[in-house]
Each structure stands twice: as structure tokens, then as C-alpha cells.
């Protein structure tokens, strides 16, 4: 059986409180009993001493033992639970409570036994006697025997007081436990209710509902951290979900136009509206190849956006990477009479293939958007703990309003012109993701009809 946190907390709290209050009551009870026992024994001794002194004083005053005062002292002691017998040195009885009122003595002994048994069922007292000499000028004149319930006893009033004290103690204990029980429920509810809210929110997350946020103004540090973390998790999942939906929409949108165009061409040829020709088939084939390239780019982008990017970093010379790239562009550059200048060189610490992709994108854009006779310059600058690489061209430039968006996927600055250049608007998104995965940054500076400068900063080996 599973218990809720609230039940467990309440249970633990109540157990702790019952144990503490139980111990407190028990110790108080034992302490009171011991104190009273001590008090009863001392009282007994004091009374005996006072009785002896009184008899001695009266003996001196009256010039001997007289029943006139012995009756009063003896009966008074009997009232206090002490039975007196006074004998002379030869053993003859001078005064005896038994002889004076035997019935009262027996009743007294019985009452004391009943009192003490009712006080504690573990009481194993019995009737005890103690004998003391009564002196006159250093000579023993008589012996006083005191009889009482030992080792100690309580009279009626004392017993009522002790019982009342015990009842108060028990009542206080029970009331405290009851109070603790309700306080326990209240406090457990206070502690468990934010956790309940957080777990409800986690259930919402599991169902894909990310919008609702949990209040995180709790004053318990751990609960606040948990609430903040769940909110962050919720934001991250919401963003991921948004990106996924956006990507699906973008992809569908991007694929629809070329697919519709291929479909239209094919239908026209199948219906005999268009004559089947090599030229038309080649055009369809090119469109399909473009689609294939687009799908490849989308795959790259989705992997990069999912942060699944795995880098195999190594140190290599930047010029080697450029050399290979420029070889690929040789024909295109020559056909368009585009000049490429390279300034500076140095070592970079990065994933060679991914960096190839980055500079391939930048170079192809520079060529694509610069037109015949343009000039492209690539500069490399080494700083203390980073490298700065710039790719600049004197081409068409990017309109001001488009600059903030060009790194967004599927964004093209000039839609109609881009259809001709065949760009899908993915290249710069991929470039940015790769550069950022390396811990670097990419920025752009551009002016329409003047040219564009892309600046990449990559951290050196120590930082990267």
C-alpha cells in the first residue's frame, strides 16, 4: 500500500510528538513520585522529632508523665498516622495509643494501607515501629515507640493532591498529543501541497501540456528549486515542441512548390499536352535533384538543431581547407570572372568537415550573390585565444530589413531572385549552428549594392 507524503508526514510528526510528550509525562510522573516519597519520609522524621521534644518539654513542665498532655499529644499523632507507645525503663506502659483507643489505631493502620495501595499497586509497605529514648539530665527516663506505615505513607489530603497532580499531567499530555495531531495535519498539508502542485504539473508535462506554470515563490529552498526546474523543463519542452512543429510546417511548405511543379510537368507530358523531350525530362530531373539536396540540408539542420552535433575537433591549417574549397569552385569562379583574395593564415582547432561546410556556404553565397567580375576576400586573423575569419564580397548586399533574419532557416532576402539562384534559405542556419556548436560566433555587415562581410570568431584550443 502506498501512502501520500501528507499521510507519512502527519504520521511521523504524531509519532515524534507522542514519544516526546510520553517521555516528558513519564519523567515528570517518576520525578513527582520520588519527590513526594522523599517529602513523606522527611515529614515522618520531623514529626517524630517534634513529638519527642514536646513530650520532653511537657515532662519538664509537669515534673513527670501525665495523661492530661499525653492523651492530647498521642491522639494528635494518631491523627497524623503515628501510633505512640511510651514505656518506662522497666518496660511498664506509661501511655499507649492501643490502650487509649485500640479501635481507632486499627482503623488508622487499615486506612493507611488502603491509601497507599490505591496510590500504587506496587506499594509493598508494612507496619513499622521505631524506638527512641526520652532523656532527663543525661539519664534515660522512658522509651518512645512510634508505629507507622513504612517505608512512607501519604495521608488523605496528600493523596488527593498527588492524584490531582497526576490527572493534570495526564490531561496536559493528552491535550498536547491532540493538539500535535491537528498541528501535524496542518503542517504536513502546508509542506506537501506545493509538492502535490509540482507533481500535478509534471503530469501535465507528461501529457504534453506545457503552458501552465507553477508559482515558484515558496520559502522552502528545495521546493523553490524544484518548482523553478520544472518550469524551466516546461519552457525547454515547449520550445522544442515549437521548433518541431515549425520545422514540419517549413519543410512541408518548402517541398510543396517544387513538387507541384514536377507534378505539373509530368502530368502535362503524360496527358500529351507536352511532347516528351530530353530537355523537359532533364528539367524535371534537375528539380528532383534540387529537392534531394533540400531534403539533405533539412536533415543536417534538424540534427544540428537537436544539438545532436558531434564534433571531431583537430588542429589544421586554414589555408589547406581553403585550397580544397577553391579548387571545387575553380570553374564557377573563372566563368564568372570572380577574383578571390586570401589574406593571412594560421592554425584553427575545429571539426574539419563541418568547417568545410561553413566556408562552402559562405563562399557559394558570395559567388551566388555577387555576379560577374566581383571580388571576394577571405582574411584570417590570429588573436591570443581566438581566430577571426572574414568572408567579404562586393556583391548585391543584403537589404537592411532582412539582415536580422538571414540566419533563420528558410529565410531568403529576395524571394524572386533566390528562386533563380536555387537557394532554400538553409545554408546560413546550418553555418550558424555549426559555428555556435564550436563555441564561436558569426555576424554580418552588409550594405545594398556595396557588399557583404561575414565575420566568424572561433575559440582557440584552450577555450574550445
Cα 411 to Cα 429: distance, rounded to the nearest angstrom:
9
Please report, as residue ranges, which positions from 27 to 46 form the binding site for ligand ADP (by CB under 6 A).
none
Using the rule CB under 6 A, is 76 a contact of ligand ADP?
no
Report the largest interatomic distance among the alpha carbons of the chain, rounded to a whole angstrom.
163
CB of 419 to ligand ADP, least distance (A): 10
* Signed CA dihedral, 302, 304, 306, 311: sign only: positive
Indicate the residue among 313 and 412 with the shorter CB distance to ligand ADP.
412
C-alpha to C-alpha distance for 458 and 436, rounded to whole angstroms: 9
Minimum gap (Å) between residue 422 Cβ and ligand ADP:
7
User: Which of these ranges, 79-87, 127-135, 312-320, 360-368, lies near ligand ADP under the rule CB under 6 A?
Assistant: 360-368
Phi/psi of residue 210, each to 5°?
Answer: -105, -15
Give the binding range for ligand ADP (CB under 6 A) out of 14-22, 196-204, 247-255, 406-414. 406-414
Q: Which of residues 369-398 bind ligand ADP (CB under 6 A)?
A: 369, 393, 395-398
Distance CA 159, CA 390 (A): 102
Task: Identify which of residues 423 and 459 has a Cβ nearer to ligand ADP in the complex.
Answer: 423
| Residue pointed to by grid coordinates 520520588 | 34
Give dist(CA 28, CA 25) in Å, integer: 5
**DSSP result, 70-94:** HHHHHHHHHHTT-EEEEEETTS-EE
Q: Which of 231, 361, 386, 390 binds ligand ADP (CB under 6 A)?
A: 361
For residue 403, give the DSSP letter: G
Query: DSSP H helical segments within 306-351, as ranges?
Result: 318-335
Cα angle 41, 47, 50 (rounded to 5 degrees) comes to 145
Question: 40, 84, 304, 366: which one contacts ligand ADP (CB under 6 A)?
Answer: 366
* Residues facing residue 378 across a β-bridge: 342, 391
Closest distance to ligand ADP from the beta carbon of 442 (Å): 11
Which is closer to ligand ADP, CB of 427 or CB of 459?
A: 427
**Number of chain residues interacting with ligand ADP (CB under 6 A):** 23
Question: Is 96 an interacting residue with respect to ligand ADP (CB under 6 A)?
Answer: no
Please classify residue 298 by burial: count the beta carbons closer than 10 Å to its beta carbon, then call 0-12 exposed, 13-18 middle and 19+ buried.
buried
How far is residue 319's CA from residue 329's CA, in Å, rounded to a whole number?
15
Site string for ligand ADP, 412-431 (x = CB under 6 A): xxx---x----xxxxxxx--
Give me the count of residues in the chain.
464
CB of 358 to ligand ADP, least distance (A): 11
Nearer to ligand ADP, 98 or 407 (CB): 407
35/257 with CB nearer ligand ADP = 257
Give the three-state DSSP class for 449: coil
Which residue's Cβ lies closest to ligand ADP? Answer: 423
Q: Establish if 440 lies at the interface with ligand ADP (CB under 6 A).
A: no
The reply to whether 432 sits near ligand ADP by the rule CB under 6 A is no
CB of residue 457 to ligand ADP, shortest distance in Å:
18
**Looking at beta carbons only, is 234 or 361 nearer to ligand ADP?**
361
If the CB atoms of residues 13 and 369 are measured against ligand ADP, the closer one turns out to be: 369
CA distances to 258, 348, 461 from 319, rounded to whole Å, are 38, 10, 18
Which residues bind to ligand ADP, rule: CB under 6 A? 361, 365-366, 369, 393, 395-398, 406, 411-414, 418, 423-429, 452
Amino acid at each position: 500500500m502506498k501512502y501520500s507524503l501528507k499521510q507519512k508526514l502527519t504520521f511521523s510528526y504524531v509519532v515524534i510528538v507522542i514519544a516526546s510528550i510520553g517521555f516528558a509525562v513519564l519523567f515528570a510522573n517518576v520525578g513527582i513520585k520520588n519527590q513526594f516519597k522523599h517529602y513523606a519520609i522527611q515529614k515522618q522524621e520531623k514529626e517524630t522529632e517534634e513529638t519527642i521534644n514536646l513530650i520532653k518539654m511537657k515532662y519538664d513542665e509537669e515534673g513527670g508523665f501525665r495523661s492530661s498532655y499525653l492523651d492530647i499529644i498521642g491522639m494528635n499523632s494518631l491523627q497524623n498516622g503515628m501510633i505512640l507507645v511510651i514505656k518506662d525503663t522497666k518496660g511498664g506502659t506509661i501511655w499507649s495509643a492501643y490502650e487509649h483507643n485500640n479501635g481507632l489505631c486499627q482503623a488508622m493502620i487499615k486506612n493507611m494501607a488502603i491509601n497507599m495501595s490505591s496510590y500504587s499497586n506496587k506499594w509493598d509497605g508494612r507496619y513499622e515501629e521505631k524506638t527512641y529514648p526520652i532523656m532527663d539530665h543525661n539519664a534515660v527516663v522512658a522509651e518512645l515507640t512510634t508505629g507507622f506505615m513504612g517505608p512512607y505513607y501519604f495521608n488523605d489530603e496528600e493523596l488527593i493532591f498527588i492524584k490531582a497532580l497526576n490527572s493534570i499531567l495526564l490531561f496536559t499530555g493528552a491535550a498536547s498529543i491532540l493538539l500535535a495531531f491537528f498541528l501535524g495535519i496542518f503542517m504536513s498539508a502546508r509542506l506537501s501541497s506545493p509538492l502535490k502542485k509540482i507533481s500535478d504539473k509534471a503530469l501535465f508535462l507528461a501529457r504534453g501540456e506545457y503552458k501552465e506554470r507553477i508559482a515558484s515563490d515558496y520559502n522552502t529552498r528545495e521546493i523553490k528549486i524544484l518548482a523553478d526546474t520544472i518550469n524551466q523543463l516546461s519552457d525547454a519542452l515547449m520550445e522544442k515542441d515549437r521548433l518541431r512543429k515549425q520545422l514540419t510546417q517549413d519543410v512541408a511548405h518548402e517541398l510543396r512548390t517544387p513538387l507541384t511543379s514536377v507534378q505539373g510537368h509530368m502530368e502535362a507530358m503524360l496527358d500529351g499536352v507536352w511532347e516528351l523531350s530530353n530537355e523537359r525530362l532533364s528539367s524535371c530531373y534537375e528539380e528532383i535533384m534540387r529537392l534531394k539536396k533540400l531534403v539533405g540540408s533539412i536533415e543536417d539542420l534538424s540534427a544540428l538543431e537537436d544539438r545532436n552535433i558531434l564534433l571531431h575537433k583537430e588542429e589544421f591549417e586554414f589555408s589547406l581547407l581553403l585550397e580544397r574549397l577553391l579548387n571545387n569552385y575553380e570553374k564557377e569562379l573563372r566563368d564568372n570572372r570572380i577574383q578571390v583574395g586570401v589574406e593571412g593564415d594560421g592554425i584553427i582547432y575545429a571539426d574539419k568537415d563541418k568547417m568545410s561546410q561553413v566556408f562552402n556556404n559562405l563562399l557559394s553565397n558570395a559567388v551566388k550573390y555577387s555576379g560577374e567580375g566581383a571580388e571576394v576576400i577571405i582574411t584570417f586573423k590570429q588573436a591570443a585565444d581566438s581566430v577571426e575569419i572574414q568572408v567579404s564580397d562586393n556583391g548585391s548586399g543584403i537589404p537592411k530589413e532582412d539582415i536580422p533574419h538571414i540566419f533563420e532557416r528558410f529565410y531568403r532576402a529576395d524571394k524572386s531572385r533566390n528562386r533563380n539562384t536555387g537557394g532554400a534559405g538553409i545554408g546560413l542556419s546550418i553555418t550558424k549552428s555549426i559555428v555556435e556548436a564550436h563555441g564561436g560566433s558569426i555576424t554580418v555587415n552588409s550594405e545594398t549594392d556595396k557588399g557583404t562581410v561575414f565575420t566568424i570568431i572561433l575559440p582557440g584550443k584552450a577555450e574550445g
